[in-house]
Amino acid sequence: MKKIISTGSVGLLFGLLMSCNQTDELALKLGPIQSKFHLDKNLITVSGISSGGYMAHQYHIAYSDQVNGAALFASGPYNCAQGELETALASCVESAQDLDLSLLINNVRVAEQKQAIASLGNLKDDKVMIYHGSKDVRVDRNVTRALADFYAALDVKIKTVFDVASGHGFPTMDFGVECENTETPHINNCQYDGAGEALSYFYPGLKRKSSLKGRVYSFSQSEFVEPGGDNTLAETGYIYAPEDCQKGASCKIHIAFHGCQQNAENVGLDFVENTGYNTWAEANNILVIYPQTKSTYMPLNPKACWDWWGYTGDDYLARNGAQLKHINNIVMGL
């Protein structure tokens, strides 16, 4: 029975440098996950920044039979790296000069035919928000434009935001570094509510964000690994559970993917607590899942990025890929 616990790439690959570590020293044991939350598995949305944007995009494509919307910040199109770190660096970060969108569209259709991903027809009614800060010096604007073009080629409804003068980071109303900067923890004070804009786009008519009455919980991600599989994620992941979700109300699900070296090991709970999702979640019965990566050298992932170039294996883009399947096990197991 899975349990939760409460708690108060190398180079150019989104080198989100940060130090500091926060542990669950105040953790208290709670009951089984299944007895705590009543989640609507038909109302799942995702978002992510940088490598987390790539991962949110991959999860949307692979599990479009479950996901209804995606907000993607400073990232690029599905299979951009084509399983090669060199391609990722050459075409999917600071330059899009060799990015062949027609090839990527063909590749995703082949993946659909092989049933490695869900039917692309599931995407037609989804909402996708794509964001790129005009002062971003880490990811080229044209890489993110290619992401918008990718969805457009699949007849998906998209909203683009390219006019906020932010650096490479997650934009918030009032937390983080100066808006135009690109520096740790890559959360930027822009007077722009990225989380609120995304969730309001997914769910028109949301109640205004409210003060926090729920809490952050930690849980063991390793308990959700496929039998016989390796855990390529951190031991601990996090969720924000609004008060009503804890009391048994039916709640929607949002998965928020951090960027490279933006995990709790490096920035503490800044991404979990200060990106702006939780206040909106509190007012609208949305349980937010904050999965966490880890830094490794075998496989090569020293900056704790999500796998968008293949370090976990050739099937990293497929539904049964190590990280995608692991995240889905977490979502289905909560």
Indicate which residues carry an active-site annotation: 50, 136, 168
Which tokens is 43 given?
Answer: 């109302």
Q: CB count, 10 Å around CB of 5?
A: 15
Sheet holding 3-6, edge to edge: 29-32, 3-6, 215-220, 236-241, 286-290, 250-257, 38-49, 67-73, 127-131, 157-161
Burial profile 231-258: b = 16 or more Cβ within 10 angstroms, e = fewer = bbbbebbbbbbbebbbeeeebbbbbbbb
Burial of 124 (0-12, 13-18, 19+ CB in 10 A): exposed
- Cα(329)–Cα(255) distance, integer angstroms: 13
The 3-state DSSP class for residue 248 equals coil
The most distant pair of C-alpha atoms in the chain lies apart, rounded to whole Å, by 52
On whether the CB atoms of residues 217 and 239 are closer than 8 A, the answer is yes
Looking at residue 117, the DSSP 8-state letter turns out to be S
Size of the chain in residues: 334
What are the tokens at 132?
């790129």
**Residue tagged 């704790």 (tokens):** 304
Helix H or strand E segment including 170:
strand 170-172
